[in-house]
Structure 1
Amino acid sequence: NTDENPEIAGKYRIMGIPTLMFFKGGKIVDQVVGAASKSQLKTKVDSLL
């Protein structure tokens, strides 16, 4: 929630909502900004596993 955690939004330069970030080893490896369908999200997650 960017309203409740503006420092995190600033740290990760979140400019659009919703933003879903994927991390590996503490680093961002990919992200989805904006609305996405269930199948789009599943495809993204599957590609990162």
Structure 2
Amino acid sequence: MAAFLCIKDRHWDNFSGHLFHEYALVRGNYNEPGRTLHESVFVEILPKKF
């Protein structure tokens, strides 16, 4: 099961660095200029595969 989050762009580096140790994948999808949602990044987080 994947989780989807929306976070502020300015917090992306700290957020992704922290979760990298706990989850298998953190993927950022930056919105197009002029169509941003409060300068947010949408991320998909998948649990680690054993």
Query: TM-score scaled by structure 2?
Result: 0.32
Question: When you count helix as a share of all residues, which structure comes out higher?
Answer: 1
Q: Pick 1 or 2: higher relative contact order, CA cutoff 8 A, min separation 6.
A: 2
